[in-house]
Amino acid sequence: MSRPRAKLTNNFPGCPVESTLSFLDGKWKGVILYHLITCGTLRFSELQRKLQSITQRMLTKQLRELEESGIVTRTVFPVVPPRVDYSLTPLGLSLEPVILALEQWGQRHVVCRNGAKYAVAPDDPSKEVELKRAEELTAA
């Protein structure tokens, strides 16, 4: 599991924000949570179909980290072929307003054009900031 940001940012203003974001760190965790919130319990294969470009290995890794954090629960049924369901714990369900607020913000302020993402200023839609550049800078 990646090192949570919360361990790196203890005891400063905004710490609860960073601590919360540390549970959501990961390229796919936000969208996994979104689908579990909007669809309820899902099987591994159903999640994989909803996240078309995710690899099986990455989905497994992200789900394990969410399970270790107490946000997702994994239920294995003793049948052949094996059946595994994923659902949100009460702690995970408490993230629903946060995830849905992120969805609403994205619908209002993010535009995808020619494979690039742009943040749009609410007061002036002509002012766009390419998000791809910001992502590249943080990855470097």
Kindly report the CATH number assigned to the domain that includes residue 30.
1.10.10.10
* Whether pLDDT at 134 is above 60: no
Distance separating alpha carbons of residues 25 and 28, to the nearest angstrom: 8
Q: Can the peptide bond before residue 82 be classed as cis, meaning omega within 30 degrees of 0?
A: no
- Model confidence pTM above 0.85: no
Q: Locate tokens 């796919």: which residue? A: 28
Identify the pLDDT of residue 12.
66
* Amino acid identity at 128: E
Identify the pLDDT of residue 127.
61
| Same domain assignment for residues 54 and 74 | yes
| Same domain assignment for residues 76 and 131 | no
Q: What is the dihedral of CA 36, 32, 105, 118, to 10 degrees?
A: -150
Instruction: Taking residues 102-128, report their average pLDDT.
Output: 73
Q: Let me know: does 75 contact 87? Beta carbons within 8 Å.
A: yes
| Same domain assignment for residues 82 and 117 | no
| Same domain assignment for residues 84 and 100 | no
| Same domain assignment for residues 39 and 84 | yes
| Same domain assignment for residues 118 and 133 | yes
